[in-house]
């Protein structure tokens, strides 16, 4: 009997210790050269982006992650680049070196297994190839990488990382929409019903409706710099150039002189509308940029960065993006530079 009373607290201690080790969301890291630096974690909960910071001690750190809306947790050990892993009920370990912060190895849970397999077999391999590739070689590499990514997705239908990859393929690759839809349908029901899967489905619906050359532009009503409503349809009867930009975008700023030139050259028939991808907190900087560069054409913004309905409806993923509309609101040209816009305008009688 006496031995039982001795064993019982020992067993309790073991169970307590094991429960700590197996704590859901537990993340431990060992990153060579990290020292005592801060480690920043970012995640989205109920639509809001949250940040947590822990401090490493002699290259090691520990963190208790919280479930995120999309399953992904961002990790940053050097500014400004983040890497990401997936929240899991089982412990997750992080290893790597401060010298290559984008090459961290995550272990723990099926999605992190798929993530690491993808990065080691595709992401990092092509990153190295692109470093030395010429222009013509880059195009071929891009094509092969896209094929490899789609093949990888099809081979891993039960991982939400596949849905994440598919979402970004719809942005960076021009594979036909129906093919993307078939790939989405090939993913497991759980993945399709996940936040990542729903984002892909939403994205594909937007792509079906996006204004392309020959189609009518989506109408919108947005507030200008003074809060007055600007309705795109009110400009029917004139050519309209939509300029999707942001105060933080260097190429956008560099294009202002050319935009001023176009405005002056075609002032009798062209209206320019600047649509800025800004956060509410960036409004003062947005207004300052307009004043500094003396932009005297219409300026509007949803103040939702690039997640506003207009940016998403027009499928704008790069800045600047330009769309030239005819007098009936039909898209004549879409481009990431002004040269095609200038050529199209010069051909109009």
Q: What is the band of 22 on the pLDDT scale with cuts at 50, 70, 90?
A: low
**pLDDT recorded at residue 2:** 43
Q: pTM of the entire structure?
A: 0.74
Is 216 inside a domain boundary? Answer: no
At 148-163, the pLDDT tens digits run: 999 999 999 999 999 9
**pLDDT recorded at residue 54:** 98
Is 8 inside a domain boundary? Answer: no
Q: What is the band of 206 on the pLDDT scale with cuts at 50, 70, 90?
A: confident
**pLDDT recorded at residue 12:** 45
What CATH number is associated with residue 34? 2.60.40
Kindly state whether residues 141 and 40 are assigned to the same domain. no
Q: What does pLDDT average to over the chain?
A: 92
How would you write the chain as a 3-class SS string?
CHHHHHHHHHHHHHHHHHHHHCCCCEEEEEEECCCCCEEEEEEEECCEEEEEEEECECCEEEEECCCCCCCEEEEECCCCCCEEEECCCCCEEEEEECCCCCCCEEECCHHHHHHHHHHHHHHHHHHHHHHHCCHHHHHHHHHHHHHHHHHHHHHCCCCHHHHHHHHHHHHHCCCCHHHHHHHHHHCCHHHHCCHHHHHHHHHHHHHHHCCCCCCECCCCEEEECCCCEEEHHHHCCCEEEEEEECCCCHHHHHCHHHHHHHHHHCCCCEEEEEEECCEHHHHHHHHHHHHHCCCCCEEEECCEHHHCHHHHHCCCCCCCEEEEECCCCEEEEEECCCHHHHHHHHHCC
Domain that includes residue 286, residue range:
221-347
Kindly state whether residues 73 and 134 are assigned to the same domain. no
Instruction: Kindly state the average pLDDT of the residues 174-199.
Output: 96
Q: How many structural domains compose the chain? A: 3
**pLDDT recorded at residue 15:** 45
Kindly state whether residues 233 and 334 are assigned to the same domain. yes
**pLDDT recorded at residue 266:** 96
Instruction: Kindly state the average pLDDT of the residues 98-109.
Output: 95
Whether the pLDDT of residue 95 is over 60: the answer is: yes
Q: What is the band of 16 on the pLDDT scale with cuts at 50, 70, 90?
A: very low
Choosing from 209, 230, 255, the residue where a domain stops is 209
At 252-309, the pLDDT tens digits run: 999 999 999 999 999 999 999 999 999 999 999 999 999 999 999 999 999 999 889 9
**pLDDT recorded at residue 23:** 81
Whether the pLDDT of residue 19 is over 80: the answer is: no
Kindly state whether residues 79 and 26 are assigned to the same domain. yes
Kindly state whether residues 230 and 305 are assigned to the same domain. yes
């Amino acid at each position: 009997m006496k031995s039982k009373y001795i064993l019982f607290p020992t067993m309790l201690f073991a169970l307590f210790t094991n429960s700590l080790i197996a704590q859901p969301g537990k993340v431990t890291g060992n990153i060579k050269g990290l020292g005592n630096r801060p480690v920043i974690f970012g995640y989205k909960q109920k639509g809001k982006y949250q940040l947590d910071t822990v401090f490493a001690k002699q290259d090691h750190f520990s963190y208790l992650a919280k479930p995120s809306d999309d399953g992904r947790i961002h990790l940053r050990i050097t500014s400004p680049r983040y890497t990401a892993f997936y929240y899991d009920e089982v412990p997750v370990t992080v290893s790597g070196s401060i010298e290559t912060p984008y090459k961290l190895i995550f272990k723990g849970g099926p999605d992190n297994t798929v993530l690491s397999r993808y990065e080691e077999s595709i992401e990092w391999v092509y990153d190295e190839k692109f470093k030395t590739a010429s222009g013509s070689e880059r195009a071929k590499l891009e094509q092969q990488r896209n094929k490899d990514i789609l093949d990888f997705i099809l081979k891993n239908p039960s991982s939400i990382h596949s849905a994440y990859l598919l979402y970004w393929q719809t942005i960076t690759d021009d594979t036909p929409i129906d093919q993307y839809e078939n790939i989405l349908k090939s993913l497991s029901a759980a993945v399709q019903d996940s936040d990542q899967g729903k984002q892909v489905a939403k994205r594909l619906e937007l792509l079906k409706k996006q204004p392309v050359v020959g189609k009518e532009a989506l109408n919108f009503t947005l507030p200008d710099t003074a809060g007055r409503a600007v309705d795109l349809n009110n400009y029917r009867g004139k050519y309209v150039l939509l300029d999707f930009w942001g105060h933080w975008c260097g190429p956008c700023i560099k294009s202002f002189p050319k935009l001023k030139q176009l405005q002056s050259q075609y002032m009798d028939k062209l209206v320019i509308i600047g649509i800025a991808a800004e956060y509410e907190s960036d409004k003062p900087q947005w207004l300052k940029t307009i004043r500094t560069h003396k932009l005297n054409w219409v300026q509007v913004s949803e103040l939702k960065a690039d997640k506003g309905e207009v940016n998403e409806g027009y499928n704008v993923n790069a800045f600047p993006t330009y769309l030239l509309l005819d007098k009936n609101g039909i898209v004549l040209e879409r481009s990431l530079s002004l040269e095609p816009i200038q050529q199209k305008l010069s051909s109009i009688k």
